[in-house]
Amino acid sequence: HYAAAYLAKKQKSAAEHIPLIGYDLIEENVDGLRKGLIDYIISTRSEEQGALAIQILFKKVVLRQLEERVDITMPLDIVCKYNVDSIVNFKFTHFS
């Protein structure tokens, strides 16, 4: 979001727009996306990662149910102005 704010001050017209990809679905990045300062956001679903880490820790330490190594695959979301509202609504509905 710092890069978006900097570019917004430097660019004088839409023709000077430099495509920008943000990382993580934080409020400042979502705001920049909605304003057209950021073109895409790569979301790593950090809330889901955190919840899963706590579940794995509980199973390992308290229940002693897990193997020595656990491989986890997490999806990435590519967020743009067309899908930002549905992804943000999903995030706050499921992880608030």
The CA distance from 9 to 37, in Å, is 10
Q: Where are the domains of the chain?
A: 14-94
The per-residue pLDDT for range 30-85, each reduced to its tens digit, is 999 999 999 999 998 888 888 898 998 899 899 988 777 778 888 899 999 999 99
Q: Candidates 3.40.50.970, 3.40.50.2300, 3.40.190.90, 3.40.50.1000; correct CATH number of 14-94?
A: 3.40.50.2300
Residue 94 pLDDT: 66
Asked if 77 contacts 87 with a C-beta cutoff of 8 angstroms, the reply is: yes
CA–CA–CA angle 11, 17, 22 (5° rounding): 105
The answer on pLDDT for 9 being more than 70 is: yes
Give this prediction's pTM: 0.73
